[in-house]
Amino acid sequence: MVKLVVVNKNNEEIGLEDKLKCHLGKGILHRAFTAFIFNSKNQLLIQKRSKNKLLWPLIWEASCSSHPLRTENYITAGKKRLKKELGFSCELKFLGKFKYQVKYKNIGAEKEICAFLVGKYNGKVKSNPKEIAEWKWIDLKTLKKDLIKSPRKYAPWLKIALKFHEKRK
């Protein structure tokens, strides 16, 4: 069972807990990251989560989102997860963190201090079907319009990360 790094509101480690337990009920505050990968046309790579995901299955989200292990920093974890989910890795830049909590139906919740990572990549994408149902490159203007038109198609942390990204431009 994967153990997540449980933290206090200051992102100080207070222990480890099973991934499933961290996401049940109202959630337990833990470390996470979300990565935005852009190509040379400044399009964002987004992915649709696998139908097998407990929370937000078949919902569009950022390029890659996951949790660093206790022994990893955000950049190392991001590069490793990109390789596992999308078949490539690239340089990543840490741009800050945001905290959020969002309930998903009566199943569970995300309650995370989430690092925001950004990278550039123009090569081949080879998605892992266990993790990703589909993926695509999209320009931010189109994405923002669709977020307004069809907000339920998108994961809450994608919306938060997009606002976070816009503030940092």
Q: Over the stretch 97-109, which tens digit does the pLDDT of each residue have?
A: 999 999 999 999 9
pLDDT at residue 36 is higher than 70: yes
CA distance 54 to 4: 16
pLDDT at residue 153 is higher than 90: yes
Q: Which of 53-57, 78-82, 163-167 has the lowest mean pLDDT?
A: 163-167
Q: Where are the alpha helices (DSSP H) in the chain?
A: 19-23, 74-86, 140-149, 156-168
CA distance 105 to 128: 26
Chain centre to alpha carbon of residue 101: 14
Enclosing domain of residue 156: 3-168
Number of domains in the chain: 1
- Domain of residue 129, CATH code: 3.90.79.10
pLDDT, average across residues 83-88: 98
